[in-house]
DNA sequence: CCGATAATGTACAGCGCTAGAAAGATATTT
DNA sequence: AAATATCTTTCTAGCGCTGTACATTATCGG
């Protein structure tokens, strides 16, 4: 069980440590015969380089951290998957940090936890705001995701929420909806995402010459399908009439679908529904869910590009990038009414 | 941007490195005045210990790897979450490795990739079989999950699939079902999970004195909701009569729900449906889905216990543990028919 | 056949931190 | 006051690998 070290291989092969190291790294200028001999020693001993030691010597860890609120939220688990694959492609490994939207855990991400452990951090904050982050952003290269915070000096990637909400609203308008609701405004949401989406929704209505009816802006208590369900159920009970809903979240949309189903309304016949995030949930509901689709691969690639530039030494002001989006059209809000 | 080192703090505070280290580690025998002076220097310089160096010196990394087929499969993302939380509780950090069910990537998990990077690995294999793993299981402490492989020398945790399938079948029988189908057998499944579940299903029927009708064992082409849907739709089309379905997977169950809905059958009125894994999907379908619920926290805790014993030096034969399960009863198969 | 250039190989000083040995200070006991 | 016990702090040898500086051996045109 005693670990085999570089020097053990070197001794067995009768060469210097550096030569073994050269073989391990496929350094070109090693005589074929020697290379073979060293390789034989490596195989015989079952030598595996100690990555921690290599890291200390090189100063590079080859790891990046992804800090997200919840691993098992579909949006984030899908994002994680894309990032993991992009990382593999670029020769990095990913360590996932779950903040649970806890301010202390979020702060920990930026302060001591990652020191010397990773080359960089991609962080989707929920509770920390611009100034908090600006204050703590220290040595480790950092790229932010989402709408919660965007300090001037820190790189940042998000999608254009206003324009995406506009697209969703236009889609519903194009298919004939005239009384379009928005689900939902949330007291606990301090990320600003909802506001931007609400803005796009309003703009869409305006374009079509429709006045915003405050009754059509539904409020939910928390970010769950159940909360979405009760919000919509309550509106129906109040007698609010609507023929379309833009939801800020696929989970709300699922709740809305259920509420509509319970009240005997057909989707999309009576009410068309658009979700947000295009998680795989959208393909599993009945009817399947039309959903705003952030281009996750684009988002991840952009974030990684920025991060690698930081890792390479860029020290300038923060770059703020917009990743693309589209609308994944499914049964709940088809193209033709 | 130059990193602050332990020695920098030591110089500023006018003490030795060890004293600073003692302060950092809250070693008790440091005079209060000195401790304060050192702390001041640490704060002033913004010193953060370099974890890589610490690791090299101590030989412990404080990290474990979780190797799973797909991060964004609900079962695994939920498992990851539990593991991440358990790890935090025990003072470890988790690095997630996605194998994508690729034999080469799975092999890589056990061979060179983790050397010296993590203290241990928790691995849910899909393609590698018992002998492959036995052959490669080298130095790093390892615990296996799932039914695919269980080498004698390696620790292993799973749930009792036979008994869980039996419970599910009994549940359907108790609520009056007599023609219970099983969805689905899959050609590509080499993990053995399906067989065990099928066994429990058969046993349940036997207990009730019902002969297994081969027509009621549905086959699917792959692990997707769509495949489940077509499998059930086809059976309906063939005129197969059934009043209950045990699904090997929540996604199959979702497909079944859709197929039944499309054919105008009511759930649970005409057909009761039980899924498997009790992922959060189960709460989002309509009707909500009764599902076999592996006790994920128990599973994770058991795996971590075994792993920590290995890390602590246990070298004996593999321990094979069974984690508990229950049935999460929801609308698709309520208790009373 | 020689000096010059390129190809190979060796030696060894770190990377930043930990932890045990040893030394220096202070308190307690006889 | 000497002797012993108890704290407190310093010294320093690694942890395993990398990369630079340097030594040695081929290769080659003229």
- Encode pLDDT of B245-295 as tens digits: 999 989 999 999 999 999 999 999 999 999 999 998 898 888 999 999 999
Is B78 in Cβ contact with A74 (below 8 Å)?
Answer: no
Listed range (A1-15, A92-106, A167-181) with the worst mean pLDDT: A1-15
Asked if the Cβ–Cβ distance from B284 to A98 is below 8 Å, we say no
**B95 vs A: CB within 8 A:** yes
CA separation for the pair A140, A121 (Å, rounded): 7
CA distance A96 to A108: 14
- Is A170 touching B (CB cutoff 8 A)? no
Name the packing angle between helices A32-45 and A17-24 (round to 10°): 90
- Determine the Cα–Cα distance for residues A179 and A148; give it in Å rounded to an integer: 30
* pLDDT at residue B15 tops 90: no
Kindly indicate the confidence band of residue B214, based on its pLDDT and cuts at 50, 70 and 90: very high
Using the predicted structure, report yes or no on whether residue B113 has a pLDDT greater than 70: no
> pLDDT tens digit string along B29-60?
788 888 888 889 888 888 888 888 998 888 88
Size of chain A, expressed as the number of residues it contains: 337
Q: What is the pLDDT of residue A260?
A: 95
Residues of chain B with pLDDT > 70, as a percent, come to 97
Query: Quick check: A30 contacting B, CB < 8 Å?
Result: no
Interface residue of B77, B82, B108, B296 to substitute, partner A, most A CBs within 10 Å: B77
The reply to whether B29 Cβ lies less than 7 angstroms from strand C is: no
What is chain A's mean pLDDT, rounded?
90
3-state secondary structure of A122: strand
* The pLDDT value given to residue B140: 84
Mean pLDDT on A305-314: 92
Each residue's pLDDT tens digit, A220-270: 988 888 899 999 999 999 999 999 999 998 999 999 999 999 999 999 999
C-alpha A76 chain-centroid distance: 5
Return the SS3 of B239. Answer: coil
Distance CA B324, CA B296 (A): 8
**Helix, strand or coil, per DSSP, at residue A142:** strand
pLDDT over threshold 70, residue A284: yes
In whole angstroms, what is the distance from residue A95 CA to residue B96 CA?
Answer: 6
pLDDT reading at A288 higher than 80: yes
Taking every pair of C-alpha atoms in chain B, what is the biggest distance, in angstroms? 87
Using a pLDDT cut of 70, give the percent of chain A over it: 96
Q: Same fold for the domain at A6-49 and the one at A161-294?
A: no
Among B181-185, B296-300, B312-316, which is the least confidently predicted range?
B312-316
- Options 1.10.1060.10, 1.10.260.40, 3.40.50.300, 3.30.300.100; which CATH number does B6-49 get? 1.10.260.40
Superfamily of domain A63-158+296-324: Response regulator (3.40.50.2300)
What is the reported pLDDT for B335? 86
Domain ranges of chain B: 6-49, 63-159+296-324, 161-294
pLDDT for the residue A190: 63
Query: Is domain B63-159+296-324 given the CATH code 3.40.50.2300 in the classification?
Result: yes
Could you read off the pLDDT of A51-69 as tens digits, one per residue?
889 988 988 888 899 999 9
B299 or A312, higher pLDDT: B299
pLDDT at residue A1 above 50? Answer: no
Query: Architecture of domain A161-294 in CATH?
Result: 3-Layer(aba) Sandwich (3.40)
- Provide the 3-class DSSP secondary structure of residue A215: helix
From the CA of B87 to the C1' of C16: give the distance in Å. Answer: 26
Count CB neighbours of B31 within 10 A: 9
Measure CB to CB from residue A138 to each of B46, B97, B281 and give the nearest one: B46
Give the residue-averaged pLDDT of A196-204.
95
Mean pLDDT value across residues A185-198? 82
Q: Which residues contact A272 (CB under 8 A, 6 or more apart)?
A: A172, A175, A177, A243, A244, A245, A290, A332, A333, A334, A337
A89 and chain B in contact, CB less than 8 A = no
pLDDT attached to residue B114: 56
pLDDT at residue A308 is higher than 80: yes
Q: How many Å separate Cα A337 from the centre of its chain? A: 32
With beta carbons less than 8 A apart as the criterion, state whether A133 and A278 touch: no
Grade residue B1 by pLDDT with cuts at 50, 70 and 90.
very low
pLDDT computed for residue B112 by the predictor: 60
Q: Which residues of B touch A225 (CB under 8 A)?
A: 283-284
């Amino acid at each position: 069980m005693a670990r085999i070290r570089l020097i053990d291989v070197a001794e067995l092969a009768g060469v210097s440590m550096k030569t073994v190291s050269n073989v391990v790294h496929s350094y070109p200028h090693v005589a074929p015969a020697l290379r073979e001999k060293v390789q034989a020693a490596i195989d015989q001993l079952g030598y595996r380089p100690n990555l921690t030691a290599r890291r200390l010597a090189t100063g590079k860890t080859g790891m990046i951290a992804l800090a997200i609120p919840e691993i098992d939220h579909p949006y984030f688990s899908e994002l994680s998957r894309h990032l993991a694959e992009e990382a593999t492609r670029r020769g990095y490994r990913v360590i996932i940090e779950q903040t649970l939207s806890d301010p202390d855990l979020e702060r920990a991400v930026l302060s001591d936890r990652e020191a010397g452990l990773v080359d960089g951090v991609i962080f989707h904050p929920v509770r920390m705001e611009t100034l908090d982050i600006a204050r703590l952003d220290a040595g480790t290269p950092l790229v932010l995701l989402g709408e919660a915070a965007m300090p001037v000096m820190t790189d940042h990637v998000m999608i254009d929420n206003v324009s995406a909400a506009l697209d969703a609203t236009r889609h519903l308008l194009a298919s004939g909806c005239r009384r379009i609701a928005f689900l939902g405004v949330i007291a606990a949401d301090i990320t600003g995402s909802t506001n931007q989406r609400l803005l796009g929704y309003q703009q869409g209505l305006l374009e079509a010459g429709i006045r915003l009816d405050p009754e059509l802006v539904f409020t939910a208590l928390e970010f769950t399908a159940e909360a979405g369900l009760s919000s919509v159920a309550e509106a129906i009970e109040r007698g609010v009439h609507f023929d379309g809903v833009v939801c800020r979240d696929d989970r709300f949309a699922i709740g809305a679908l259920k509420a509509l189903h319970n009240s005997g309304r057909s989707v999309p016949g009576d009410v068309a529904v658009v979700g947000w995030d295009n998680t795989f949930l959208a393909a599993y509901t009945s009817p399947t869910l039309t959903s705003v689709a952030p281009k996750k691969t684009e988002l991840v690639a952009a974030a990684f590009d920025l991060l690698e530039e930081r890792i390479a030494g860029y020290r300038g002001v923060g770059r703020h990038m917009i990743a693309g989006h589209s609308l994944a059209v499914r049964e709940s809000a088809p193209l033709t009414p």
